[in-house]
Amino acid sequence: MLKSKKRLLNPDYLFVTQDESSFYLDSNRSKCWAIKGSKPIKFISGSKTKINIGGFYTENRDFYWYDLGIKKNTDSFLKSLIKLKKDIGRKIFLLLDRGLSSKI
């Protein structure tokens, strides 16, 4: 007997998860191991330049990434969400984490 795959959502909706992350362009070498009592040389660049990216992962195993720009904020998130909706072309059920940039 063939078992049918159960689906909790309406077939018109697509289940999508979202997350974002930041990557610093310069490495932080201010933290290092040293022998007790010695004075290690610490390399600090002072740059705080970073790349903010995010992505959507669908139940169909499709991945959509987007650039959040300089700031991770509601405006950049909503722009990416509108673009995703246009690309997919159907209603979505979006699962968000509790990150600060996801709060609308």
User: pLDDT tens, 79-99?
Assistant: 888 998 898 888 888 888 776
Each domain of the chain, given as residue ranges in start order, spans 15-23+48-104
β-bridge pairing 91-95 and 13-24: parallel
Three-class SS state of 64: strand
User: pLDDT tens, 5-48?
Assistant: 665 667 788 889 988 888 877 765 566 677 888 877 666 666 67
pLDDT given for residue 25 in this prediction: 74
Residue 63 has pLDDT above 90, yes or no: yes
Write down the pTM of the prediction. 0.62
Which residues 6+ apart lie within 8 Å of 49 measured at CB? 24, 25, 26
